[in-house]
Amino acid sequence: MRASLRNIFGNTFEAKSLPKKGVGKFLLEHAINSARQKQKKYVWLGVWEKNERALRFYEQNGFYRIGTHCFILGKDRQIDHIMRKDL
């Protein structure tokens, strides 16, 4: 069984005034605890390829890259790294 963090929180975006306040860590821990309570084996999420800070954050919290996903935002083609954390 798997759980997408998007299924738990939907799309989340951290406001520029919030970095390094612990909000992201708090939300991530809540989502992971929720997935564990539901006996999920892993969680996954997508991170925009150019968001290096977010990629480092998730890697530091046990996520690893398992693939990519392309999507269109306006007229621009964007790429998300799909990341997974085993529970």
Over residues 22-38, the pLDDT tens digits come to 888 888 999 999 999 99
Mean pLDDT calculated for residue range 65-79: 92
Domain count, the chain: 1
Which residues, in sequence order, are CB contacts of 56 under 8 Å at separation 6+? none
Q: Which of 43, 36, 75 is nearest to 58 (CA)?
A: 43
What helix, strand, coil percent values describe the chain, rounded to 5? 35, 35, 30
pLDDT of residue 26: 87
58 is catalytic: yes
pTM of structure: 0.76
Per-residue confidence at 6, pLDDT binned at 50, 70, 90? low
* Residue-range definition of the domain harbouring residue 57: 2-86
Per-residue confidence at 63, pLDDT binned at 50, 70, 90? very high
36: domain CATH number is 3.40.630.30
Catalytic residue among 24, 31, 40, 58: 58
Q: Decide if pLDDT at 11 tops 80.
A: no
Dist CA 76 CA 69 (whole Å)? 14
